[in-house]
């Protein structure tokens, strides 16, 4: 969805189309979050008329899929991989191992006892 993509590349990590896509989704979600929360509030408010709540439900489902938080997936900063990402290091498990063994990650040491 090119309308969400930044006109100029603004990423300083490994870049491939999946990373760019995920980044666009994050930006789109950030922009649409207040609206989404407002709709979610209306939907969950039982004191409002049923019709209003139903309309809010429809509006929320009809928002673009890029504005959904569930579309966001953490990806590896070094290789763009989408699976096996260590959240604390934002790296895939293999890249994490390589960096850790090379001593590039402060405070990480291979266990041995």
Partner 1 sequence: MSVPRARLLALMKARCELFSTTFNPEGLRTGNKVLRQRLRGPALAAYYPKKLVTLRDLQEEFAPLELIIDDEIDDDRLEHIAGLKARGKSAPKKKKGPPTNKEKKK
Decide if residue 68 touches partner 1 (CB under 8 A). Answer: no
Q: Which is nearer to partner 1, 12 or 106 (by Cβ)?
A: 12
CB of 98 to partner 1, least distance (A): 19
Asked if residue 66 lies in contact with residue 28, where contact means CB atoms within 8 angstroms, the answer is yes
Decide if residue 106 touches partner 1 (CB under 8 A). Answer: no
Decide if residue 49 touches partner 1 (CB under 8 A). Answer: no
CB of 109 to partner 1, least distance (A): 25
According to DSSP, the residues that pair with 91 across neighbouring strands are: 86
**Beta 91-92 vs 85-86: how paired, if at all?**
antiparallel
Report how far Cα 85 is from the mean position of its chain's Cα atoms: 13
Q: Which of 37, 58, 64, 84 binds partner 1 (CB under 8 A)?
A: 37
What letters, b where the CB count within 10 A reaches 16 and e where it falls short, cover 35-72? ebeebeebbeeeeeeeeebeebeeebeeeeebbbeebe
- The C-alpha R_g of the chain, in whole angstroms, comes to 20
Decide if residue 64 touches partner 1 (CB under 8 A). Answer: no
Q: Which of 59, 60, 63, 74 binds partner 1 (CB under 8 A)?
A: 74
Residues that bind partner 1 (CB under 8 A): 9-13, 19, 22-23, 26-27, 29-31, 33-34, 37, 40-47, 69, 72, 74, 77, 90
């Amino acid at each position: 969805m090119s309308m969400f993509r930044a006109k100029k590349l603004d990423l300083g990590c490994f870049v491939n189309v999946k990373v760019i896509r995920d980044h666009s989704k994050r930006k789109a979600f950030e922009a649409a979050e207040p609206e989404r929360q407002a709709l979610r509030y209306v939907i969950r408010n039982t004191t409002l008329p049923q019709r209003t709540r139903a309309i809010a439900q429809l509006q929320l489902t009809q928002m673009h899929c890029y504005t959904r938080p569930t579309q966001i997936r953490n990806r590896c900063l070094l290789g763009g991989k989408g699976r096996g990402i260590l959240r604390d290091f934002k790296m895939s498990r293999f890249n994490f191992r390589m960096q850790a063994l090379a001593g590039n990650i402060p405070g990480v040491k291979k266990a041995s006892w």
